[in-house]
A and B are shown apart, each in its own frame.
Chain A
């Protein structure tokens, strides 16, 4: 695993230090470390990271709060599925960034349109993937619950939901990546701070070293989140692993 990160780093180090390579276009690792130090001293890294994290957390939390109950009930009840599936399948093909102008008109320029963008960009995928996971609950497990005196609501709550928790965690792990895409897009369009905003500013001043620094931050955050979700899955669903 280490090699797959270290080797590109070495390649970058070598190429960016070759004579004739313009550091404005390809900053060297040293330049980027300096950019980190410079921005860190100004305090903008923490400020931007926190701003973006809050947007992602708010948008994705709303998305999850809608997707889990909706996905589970759509998976369990054909009538609810018939009601929501066609419209959701249509909506999810509309690229979320295309909604930004509308959200700005409706919600202004503050946090609301950014949160709305993340919500709209992830809620449909979250819902459909959770709905699909309900299909894999073994029929026998549901029937045995009925023979033990369970009713439909209890089957939903005590059998279907616990059974798909590993799938839900995995779904969130995959889809939170989308919310990081969207927060950067939103910040590129209109924002006071945030990782995307800082990248836009850096572009105006041709600070490619700062752009690189922020790209690395985005990569590290994404990687850390992925690891965190995997960790939560392993710890909380020991039963699902051999």
Chain B
């Protein structure tokens, strides 16, 4: 898998005239990487992810996956939104199966595949529950399982833990790191939380606002697997502080 974004511009037409949301974005993600784009609100990071997902078209520039330009949304790029996007009328099991069903997979295969991914996110016992019966963190785990069930080349995550309380958020970060190491999936995640970005990523793109540009790229050379304690180490803090300084400028 090779995601390549080059010379990307995105302009929105607003009532006040054109608004440049993204300016000259160059970015790449390789197989098995966990990459975060971190930036304040208004830095166009969500727009960037929507462009990669194919939910929006760039004004200029190109986005390719394995050399093939993106022509709209597709199940090769799984997406997890900040808002809860489970289908409320379906059980957890049916939710995880839904992508496979849309692609026309047989019921038996679908069920097996969905169960496998539910097991992977630790929610096998909730297969028959409705989304409204789950906590926020559990809903996001189901959403991740649903995206992974389609076996995408890359998982796109738009502030997936942004709506969660601090304790749940930390638990979900550990969960994601663990999942990433077990499945060797490729992840591009958007967050405004610098600590979250440093804790999770191998590489970080730091974005600044108006217009959204990539300020710098940071390689996080902290050892894996990581645990909570690493957040208190000097190495971690210096990464975090360096990025915060970059965001201020």
Contact of B89 among A144, A147, A237 (CB under 8 A): A237
Most buried by A among B54, B98, B131: B98
Q: Does B99 belong to the interface (CB within 8 Å)?
A: yes
- Is the Cβ of B79 less than 8 Å from the Cβ of A144? yes
Question: Do A148 and B147 form a contact, CB below 8 Å, given A154-B102, A238-B130, A242-B132?
Answer: yes
B85: chain A residues at CB < 8 Å are: 138, 140-141, 143-144
Question: Do A149 and B103 form a contact, CB below 8 Å, given A140-B81, A144-B79?
Answer: yes
- Is the Cβ of A138 less than 8 Å from the Cβ of B83? yes
Q: Does B75 belong to the interface (CB within 8 Å)?
A: yes
- Is the Cβ of A149 less than 8 Å from the Cβ of B75? yes
A145 to B53, CA, bound (A): 12
A154 to B85, CA, bound (A): 16
Question: Do A143 and B74 form a contact, CB below 8 Å, given A148-B150, A150-B102, A239-B89?
Answer: no
Q: Does B77 belong to the interface (CB within 8 Å)?
A: yes
Q: Does B55 belong to the interface (CB within 8 Å)?
A: yes
Interface residues of B in 184-223 (CB under 8 A from A): none
A195 to B98, CA, bound (A): 49
A162: chain B residues at CB < 8 Å are: 87, 89
| Consensus secondary structure, chain A interface | helix
B72: chain A residues at CB < 8 Å are: 146
For chain A, give the interface size range.
20 to 34
B83: chain A residues at CB < 8 Å are: 138, 140
Q: Does A214 belong to the interface (CB within 8 Å)?
A: no
- Is the Cβ of A240 less than 8 Å from the Cβ of B55? no
- Is the Cβ of A147 less than 8 Å from the Cβ of B102? no
Q: Does B146 belong to the interface (CB within 8 Å)?
A: yes
Question: Do A163 and B89 form a contact, CB below 8 Å, given A147-B53, A148-B146, A239-B132?
Answer: yes
A145: chain B residues at CB < 8 Å are: 98, 102
Q: Does B39 belong to the interface (CB within 8 Å)?
A: no
Interface residues of A in 214-242 (CB under 8 A from B): 237-240, 242
B75: chain A residues at CB < 8 Å are: 147-149
A188 to B216, CA, bound (A): 80
B101: chain A residues at CB < 8 Å are: 158
Q: Mark A149-191, 1 if CB is under 8 A from B, else 0.
A: 1100010001100110100000000000000000000000000
- Is the Cβ of A148 less than 8 Å from the Cβ of B55? no
Interface residues of B in 147-205 (CB under 8 A from A): 147, 150, 156
Contact of A149 among B89, B102, B131, B132 (CB under 8 A): B102
Contact of A148 among B89, B98, B132, B156 (CB under 8 A): B98
Q: Mark A59-99, 1 if CB is under 8 A from B, else 0.
A: 00000000000000000000000000000000000000000
Q: Mark B104-119, 1 if CB is under 8 A from A, else 0.
A: 0000000000000000
- Is the Cβ of A148 less than 8 Å from the Cβ of B102? yes
A146: chain B residues at CB < 8 Å are: 54-55, 72-73
A-B contact pairs, 19 of them (CB 8 A): A138-B85, A140-B85, A141-B87, A144-B79, A146-B72, A147-B53, A147-B54, A147-B156, A148-B102, A149-B75, A149-B150, A154-B102, A158-B98, A158-B101, A163-B88, A163-B89, A165-B89, A239-B130, A239-B131
Closest 10 pairs (CB-CB, A-B)? A149-B75, A148-B99, A146-B73, A147-B79, A144-B85, A150-B102, A239-B89, A140-B85, A149-B103, A147-B73
